[in-house]
Amino acid sequence: MIKLLGTTAFLLCTAFTAPVMAQDFDKGAAAYRAGDYATALQEWRPLAVEGDANVQTNLGFMHANGTGVPQDDAEAVRWYRMAAEQGYARAQFNLGFMYDNGRGALQDDAEAVRWYRMAAEQGYARAQFNLGNMHANGRGVPQDDAEAVRWYRMAAEQGDARAQTNLGNMHANGTGVPQDDAEAVRWYRMAAEQGYARAQFNLGFMYDNGRGALQDDAEAVRWYRMAAEQGDAEAQNNLGFMYANGRGVPQDDVLAHVWYNIGGANGNALGSENRGEIEQRMTREQVADAQARARRCMSSDYQDCD
């Protein structure tokens, strides 16, 4: 079964959206982007005290991440709550995330759902995605796959790659919707074309197995490689398998060993197992070459892996 992805985290916004003292906000935003967090705080704090929800949310973000101030989740929650209670969707989402993860407040799934829902109902895609996860996992609400699909779809239609991927998973597994591999491929492709590694892996898997698309080893390799070069350990193992068996690429035990080794190093147990097996048919020189290539590949952040 293809697995769902977890919740997404909060963001800071440096775009001016509130109709108060735009010049001071812009000074703070420019300072923040330049890494001058003390000036950003100096410009933004008076605006936050006056009730600017956007700035209150930014101060919450800075406290949550220890940016220019000592890291303090409770203080982050305090600022997020001020903005959230004004109906500001980004703050509602961030406050939900804090309750979701027990940061600055006691962990509380029901409270997380409450704030996610407020933001989601305003069309905030990240909140829609997280609310879908809460329904999928029965956290703070009764478990309900159809409701999860509904919220994933809202976020996916706004271009959220993680929601697109989860919606693909729901179709691939027939969870909350009729099983439909072609629809799964459609959503995976949307996310994969945005560069989202997990969707690239899943799309490669669908081509590999002829699910929702004509079976195509070369296309499977193409998508596995994209995900593997972003560090996806399952894609790295599967790419090794394609080299080991000459599927979609010329058969090459050395490159198979490279990708198995990298996948194993990144936590994929099957990659480690497959590396051990393929070594049985390789010479010592080939193994040494593969190990050197794997080290070079990882140290170059997957830019030099041939």
pLDDT digits (tens, 9 = 90+) for 230-277: 999 999 999 999 999 999 999 999 999 999 999 999 999 999 999 999
Q: What is the pLDDT of residue 52?
A: 95
pLDDT band for 18, please (50, 70, 90 cuts).
very low
Instruction: Give the pLDDT mean for 111-121.
Output: 98
- What is the secondary structure of 57-120 as a DSSP string? HHHHHHHHHTSSS---HHHHHHHHHHHHTTT-HHHHHHHHHHHHHTSSS---HHHHHHHHHHHH
Q: What is the pLDDT of residue 77?
A: 98
Query: Residue 222: helix, strand or coil by DSSP?
Result: helix
Asked whether residue 23 carries a pLDDT value surpassing 90, the answer given is no
Instruction: Give the pLDDT mean for 21-36.
Output: 86
Asked whether residue 16 carries a pLDDT value surpassing 90, the answer given is no
> Worst-scoring range by mean pLDDT, 22-26, 32-36, 41-45, 155-159?
22-26
- Give me the half-sphere count of Cα atoms (radius 13 Å) on the Cβ side of residue 194: 16
Mean pLDDT of all residues belonging to the chain: 94
Instruction: Give the pLDDT mean for 175-200.
Output: 98
Q: What percent of the chain has pLDDT over 70?
A: 92
Asked whether residue 163 carries a pLDDT value surpassing 90, the answer given is yes
Asked whether residue 15 carries a pLDDT value surpassing 50, the answer given is no
- The ranges assigned to domains in the chain are 22-231, 232-306
CB 73 within 8 A of CB 103: yes
Rg (CA), the chain: 23
Q: What is the pLDDT of residue 4?
A: 61
- The values of phi and psi at residue 35, to 5°, are 85, 10
Pick the CATH number of 22-231 from 3.40.50.300, 1.25.40.10, 3.40.50.720, 3.30.450.20: 1.25.40.10
Q: What is the pLDDT of residue 24?
A: 83
Distance CA 230, CA 221 (A): 14
Q: What is the pLDDT of residue 98?
A: 98
Instruction: Give the pLDDT mean for 71-77.
Output: 98
Q: Determine the length of the chain.
A: 306
pLDDT band for 173, please (50, 70, 90 cuts).
very high
Q: What is the pLDDT of residue 306?
A: 81
Q: Which residues contact 300 (CB under 8 A, 6 or more apart)?
A: none
> Worst-scoring range by mean pLDDT, 25-34, 81-90, 185-194?
25-34
pTM for this one? 0.90
Asked whether residue 292 carries a pLDDT value surpassing 60, the answer given is yes
